Copies of this chain bind each other. A is one copy, B any other.
Amino acid sequence: MITVIAGGVGAARFLRGLVRVVAPVDISAVVNTADDTVLHGLSISPDIDTVTYTLADEIDPERGWGLRHETWRAMGALARFEGVRPAGSAAAPTWFNLGDQDLATHFYRTARLAEGATLTEVTAEIARAFGVSLRILPMTDDRVQTRITVEGEGEISFQEYFVRRHHSVAVSGVRFDGSDTARPSVVAVAALRDATAVIIAPSNPIVSIAPVRALAGVDEILSARRDRVSAVSPIVGGAALKGPADRMLAELGHEPTVVGVAHLYAPIASTLIIDPVDAHLVDRIEAIGMRAVVVPSVMSTPEIAADLARAALAAAGIGV
């Protein structure tokens, strides 16, 4: 059994490689839910959906999120309400795009949660509906919300930062509201504790992986079996594979390189997998106490992602 700690797009691409080298039923993905939001009354879990849609091969390959062959008729019709929304109302935002087919997923999730199902149960049902046999596990069934402090603006939600501001504003703080009382799900805890190997996917360390780590007991589980934990760097050549991880690292006082990533992960992981472009930094990573493994990490094809997955497994002593 292999467990991957996952954010959205980067993790989904890594998992698409991993399922080529390990049977999907032997893989669990513990997925960040601190980006989850409620819009139009609908419960939306962006990272879970990105992982699900990617593994179902239904993801839109250009955008990297949402479904293929998507239409945007509901979104288009929202524009009508722009002019009548009273001052102070945030109803019917048009900045968060939800495709027409994608809406059905949110309808199902929202209705099942209203019926009392846990997010873990609903996520499994949705995965089954999409024919995905890899176990997709929300990190928690409780509510955790990433809050981003943006200079000159105060604290905003993750989606306001990521989607509405196109993650183009400077960040001075990140916290995970609710994580002091939220508990990791029982199955997520078991998946982290019992896995032969745990892989931290190439996701944003600050807003995708840190919310999982912020849950009670997670870092303790990982540090206790650190030799079984490897991490894939989401930073290659000083730049994020996707999204704002490089800028966020710098803005929050970390080195925006694989060395900065190593500092963050050294307490919980024994190995950091880095791209050949960063091979000159191996000594600095090892000085922090992590082993560095050099493998091509830019997952431009599923084959590269599969090789990367193989290297991550090998780091935990698993040959495939």
A101 to chain B, nearest CB (A): 4
Decide yes or no: A129 and B84 within 8 Å by CB, A78-B108, A104-B74 being known contacts. yes
Q: How far is the CA of A117 from the CA of B78 in the complex (A)?
A: 18
Q: Which of B80, B102, B130 contacts A129 (CB 8 A)?
A: B80
Are the C-beta atoms of B43 and A84 separated by less than 8 Å?
no
Residues of chain A from 79 to 137 with CB closer than 8 A to chain B in the complex: 80-81, 83-86, 89-92, 100-108, 110-112, 114-115, 117, 125-126, 128-130
Chain B residues closer than 8 Å to A78, beta-carbon distance: 104, 107-108
Q: How far is the CA of A110 from the CA of B92 in the complex (A)?
A: 9
Decide yes or no: A91 and B115 within 8 Å by CB, A41-B110, A71-B71, A80-B130 being known contacts. yes
Are the C-beta atoms of B90 and A111 separated by less than 8 Å?
yes
Return the chain B residue nearest A104 by Cβ.
B77
Are the C-beta atoms of A90 and B115 separated by less than 8 Å?
yes
Residues of chain A from 141 to 160 with CB closer than 8 A to chain B in the complex: none
Q: How far is the CA of A89 from the CA of B108 in the complex (A)?
A: 11
Return the chain B residue nearest A72 by Cβ.
B100
Chain B residues closer than 8 Å to A105, beta-carbon distance: 77
Are the C-beta atoms of B81 and A129 separated by less than 8 Å?
yes
Return the chain B residue nearest A131 by Cβ.
B80
Number of chain copies forming the complex: 2
Chain B residues closer than 8 Å to A222, beta-carbon distance: none
Q: How far is the CA of A96 from the CA of B83 in the complex (A)?
A: 29
Q: How far is the CA of A100 from the CA of B98 in the complex (A)?
A: 11
Decide yes or no: A84 and B126 within 8 Å by CB, A77-B104, A92-B107 being known contacts. yes
Tell me if A76 is interfacial: C-beta within 8 Å of chain B.
yes
A40 to chain B, nearest CB (A): 4
Residues of chain A from 224 to 245 with CB closer than 8 A to chain B in the complex: none
Chain B residues closer than 8 Å to A84, beta-carbon distance: 125-126, 128-129
Tell me if A73 is interfacial: C-beta within 8 Å of chain B.
yes
A52 to chain B, nearest CB (A): 12
A121 to chain B, nearest CB (A): 8
Tell me if A281 is interfacial: C-beta within 8 Å of chain B.
no
Tell me if A214 is interfacial: C-beta within 8 Å of chain B.
no
Are the C-beta atoms of A112 and B89 separated by less than 8 Å?
yes
Chain B residues closer than 8 Å to A106, beta-carbon distance: 40
